[in-house]
Amino acid sequence: MTGPRETLVGITDVVKHFAGGGNVLKREKRKVHAVNGVTLAIRQGESFCLVGESGCGKSTLARTVIGLNAPTAGTITYRGQRIDDLTPKAMAPYRRRMQMVFQNPYASLNPRMTVQTILEEPIRFHFPRLSRAEVKAKVEEVMLSVGNDPHWGSRYPHEFSGGQRQRISIARALMVDPEFVVADEPISALDVSIQAQVLNVMMDARDQRDLTYLFITHDLSVVEHFGSRVGVMYLGTVCELAETKALFANPRHPYTQILLAAIPRLDASGFRHTRLAGEVPTAMDLPSGCVFHPRCPHANARCKAEIPALKDQPDGTAIACHGIEEGRI
């Protein structure tokens, strides 16, 4: 990549709360603080990975970025144009440029439609002037490009394996020539033996089509393989933002350090495995101050009281941590 590239997707101070959390039997009504003030710029051409444990708000943020959720506060821009407040009609061109691949290829493909119909539907909607022959040719081209047999058209999703289905989902996303693809844990529901293959299909598509990705995963080994930059999320906030290489070479935020230490690696000392200590807070009982403080070995009174801002560091990473800012970590 040559020099800094322009921002494709701007996420500014995005907050997403849901009503309707809490124990239904106890008639509790509690707010779920799924995303609590995220600011990120996804640059043209990069593969931005968002990592974090289950429940930290990754899918909610992804759905908000792509317009499936309205943010409670904050803004989303696409090439500088604000898109979170558009009418469905004004949003239509952006819906073509931004496509999503979901985690579960069993749920995301309509079981009553043939593969041909599934693939033709988005292109007929967004490019109604294309002839039948042009649509057919496009289906064939895209199916081949993701390693699928282009003659699968008359069959139904249930006739395929998980990996084949996910490649059909990827083909569906690529049918309309998107610029930006949000992939929400696209390989985590798949058999380990075919995860790498599907990841390679996504990387080939990136190289052939100059795609920008927001790639969501809880698996750091995938990040190392796929991502140019990484955002680490914890309870609805981004605690560290770094180039992939920098993050793995020198994780700075205490949470990132623990997350990296938890990857089983066979190194000189054999397998290391560190587990997080402390109660697991949820998006309904958000801790005060730094959301990570109850589990942080370096937390002090300031960490309990004051929310740390994500601050740019001299080396290009950004970290939200009072301890690092004060030089005591």
Ligand X SMILES: Nc1ncnc2c1ncn2[C@@H]1O[C@H](COP(=O)(O)OP(=O)(O)O)[C@@H](O)[C@H]1O
The residues that touch Mg ion, with contacts defined as CB under 5 A, are: 59
Residue 55 sits in the site that holds ligand X (CB under 6 A):
yes
Which candidate, 310, 294, 20, places its Cα nearest to that of 324? 310
Which candidate, 211, 202, 204, places its Cα nearest to that of 179? 211
Task: Estimate the crossing angle of helix 115-126 against helix 88-97, to 10 degrees.
Answer: 120
Residue 60 sits in the site that holds ligand X (CB under 6 A):
yes
Residue 54: CB minimum distance to Mg ion, A:
7
- With a CB cutoff of 8 Å and minimum separation 6, the contacts of 24 are none
252-311 positions binding ligand X, by CB under 6 A: 282-283
Task: Decide: 167 and 183 in contact? Cβ < 8 Å.
Answer: no
- Alpha-carbon distance 227 to 214, whole Å? 9
* Residue 222 touches which member of Mg ion, ligand X, none, C-beta under 5-8 Å by kind: none
- Alpha-carbon distance 217 to 186, whole Å? 8
Residue 71: CB minimum distance to ligand X, A:
13
Which candidate, 287, 247, 284, 248, places its Cα nearest to that of 267? 248
Residue 184: CB minimum distance to Mg ion, A:
6
* Among residues 12, 18, 72, 79, the one that binds ligand X under rule CB under 6 A: 18
Residue with CB nearest Mg ion?
A: 59
Residue 59 sits in the site that holds ligand X (CB under 6 A):
yes
Q: Which contiguous run of DSSP H or E holds residue 30? A: strand 30-43
* Among residues 8, 9, 11, 32, the one that binds ligand X under rule CB under 6 A: 32
Residue 309: CB minimum distance to ligand X, A:
22
The smaller minimum CB distance to ligand X, of residues 20 and 270, is found at 20
Residue 183 sits in the site that holds ligand X (CB under 6 A):
no
* Residue 237 touches which member of ligand X, Mg ion, none, C-beta under 5-8 Å by kind: none
- With a CB cutoff of 8 Å and minimum separation 6, the contacts of 303 are 289, 290, 293, 296, 322, 323
* Residue 20 touches which member of ligand X, Mg ion, none, C-beta under 5-8 Å by kind: ligand X
Size of the site for ligand X (CB under 6 A): 15
Residue numbers at the binding site for ligand X (CB under 6 A): 18, 20-21, 32, 34, 52, 54-60, 282-283
